């Protein structure tokens, strides 16, 4: 821990009370002038700290920046988020998480970034990841099941993020197959699961989660302005990203436990209950470019979407996008 972090820790302990310069000086073994310099540095970083010559210093508010120390304090999980890396700017957290997985980082390792310069979406699309406004996060998974089961992990991740959003904001996000999260028909979050394999064996998966948290209407570029939305726009208030990350990790851990103990069936039931796709008329474009139309009737045991056509034929959609 550096001196900044220790100073912040002391101010946080005091919560809304002043902490005297004398006490800080004693605990950090630095002069009062050094403290004053550090306080000014913290103010430059966006911390609002009140200074009173009689009473000392009081932390009024913090910048909305992701910090490992605060995340670690809030994360209550046993494996998810035991190791968290926060980057200021990166190309894509997917790449960073992959490099760490190659080096042997354990399941549950999390990489977060304040901004991504080339965030990746599904099907080769770009993912808009502006600084400080969202959660751009990749989690290392080390599944033991064969490759054919990895779509189930995508759906599990979608359920985890959807439940976390509902729990924390009260906003009724729903899942559009396979794992777009929508609010009032607009996309608020997307999930990209990438796998590294060797002879049909999964070496690891990276679950990439993007959540538009505190974007304002004017933050969206033209091409996203009619299709995207944020939690702040929908809930009407700013959301603390750190708390939401902790809740997503909690949900991931709980659902992964359930999945390990009872298999995919309970996850599929939760998914179906949160889905906006079920029993709706959908048009699907499969990975092979084949167009199918019908009613979404549920998930099959592998996690594929079952569509029933007007002729009563059931078709499995394994990959691709659907239109509602």
Residue 208 touching ligand BTN (CB under 6 A) = yes
Question: Residue 145 CB, nearest distance to ligand BTN (Å)?
Answer: 22
State how far the Cα of 300 lies from the Cα of 321, in Å rounded to an integer. Answer: 17
185 in helix, strand or coil?
A: coil
Question: Residue 120 CB, nearest distance to ligand BTN (Å)?
Answer: 4
Please check whether residue 64 is in contact with residue 214, taking contact to mean a CB–CB distance below 8 angstroms: yes
304 in helix, strand or coil?
A: coil
State how far the Cα of 244 lies from the Cα of 211, in Å rounded to an integer. Answer: 10
Among 24, 39, 93, 304, binds ligand BTN (CB under 6 A): 93
Q: How many residues bind ligand BTN (CB under 6 A)?
A: 21
Beta bridge partners of 210: 136, 190
257 marked among binding-site residues: no
Among 57, 80, 127, 259, binds ligand BTN (CB under 6 A): 127
Among 71, 81, 101, 120, binds ligand BTN (CB under 6 A): 120
Give the nearer residue to ligand BTN in terms of CB position, either 130 or 263. 130
- For the chain, how far is it from start to end, CA to CA, in angstroms? 50
Among 55, 125, 167, 280, binds ligand BTN (CB under 6 A): 125
Please check whether residue 138 is in contact with residue 208, taking contact to mean a CB–CB distance below 8 angstroms: yes
Among 38, 92, 150, 169, binds ligand BTN (CB under 6 A): 92
State how far the Cα of 213 lies from the Cα of 232, in Å rounded to an integer. Answer: 6
* Residue 162, CB-side half-sphere exposure with 13 Å CA sphere: 29
12 in helix, strand or coil?
A: helix
State how far the Cα of 39 lies from the Cα of 53, in Å rounded to an integer. Answer: 14
Residue 116 touching ligand BTN (CB under 6 A) = yes
Contact positions with ligand BTN (CB under 6 A) in 209-238: 209-210
- Of the ranges 22-30, 140-148, 207-215, 267-275, which one interacts with ligand BTN (CB under 6 A)? 207-215
Which residues sit in the known binding site? 116, 120-122, 187
Which residues form the interface with ligand BTN (CB under 6 A)? 92-94, 116, 119-122, 125, 127, 129, 136-138, 180, 190-192, 208-210
């Amino acid at each position: 821990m550096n001196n900044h972090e220790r100073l912040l820790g002391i101010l946080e302990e005091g919560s809304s009370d002043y902490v005297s310069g004398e006490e800080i000086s004693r605990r950090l073994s630095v002069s009062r002038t050094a403290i004053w310099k550090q306080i000014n540095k913290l103010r430059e970083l966006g911390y609002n700290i009140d200074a009173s010559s009689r009473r000392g210093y009081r932390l009024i508010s913090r910048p909305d920046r992701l910090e490992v120390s605060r995340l670690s304090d809030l994360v209550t999980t046993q494996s998810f988020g035991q190791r968290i890396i926060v980057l200021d700017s990166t190309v894509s957290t997917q790449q960073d998480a992959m490099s760490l997985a190659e080096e042997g980082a354990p399941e549950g390792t999390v990489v977060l970034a304040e901004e991504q310069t080339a965030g990746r979406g599904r099907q080769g699309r770009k993912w808009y990841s502006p600084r400080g406004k969202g959660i751009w996060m990749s989690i290392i998974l080390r599944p033991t099941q064969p490759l054919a089961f990895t779509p189930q992990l995508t759906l599990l991740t979608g359920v985890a993020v959807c439940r976390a959003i509902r729990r924390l904001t009260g906003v009724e996000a729903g899942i559009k197959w396979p794992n777009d999260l929508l609010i009032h028909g607009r996309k608020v979050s997307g999930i990209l699961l990438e796998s590294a394999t060797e002879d049909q064996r999964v070496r690891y998966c990276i679950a990439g989660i993007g959540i538009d948290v505190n974007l304002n209407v004017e933050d969206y570029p033209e091409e996203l302005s009619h299709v995207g939305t944020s939690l702040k726009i929908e809930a009407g208030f700013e959301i603390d990203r750190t708390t939401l990350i902790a809740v997503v990790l909690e949900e991931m851990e709980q659902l992964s436990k359930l999945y390990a103990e009872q298999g995919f069936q309970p996850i599929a039931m939760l998914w179906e209950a949160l889905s906006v796709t079920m029993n709706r008329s959908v048009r699907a474009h499969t990975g092979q470019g084949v167009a199918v139309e019908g009613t979404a009737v549920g998930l099959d045991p592998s996690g594929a979407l079952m569509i029933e056509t007007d002729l009563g034929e059931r078709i499995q959609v394994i990959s691709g996008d659907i239109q509602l």
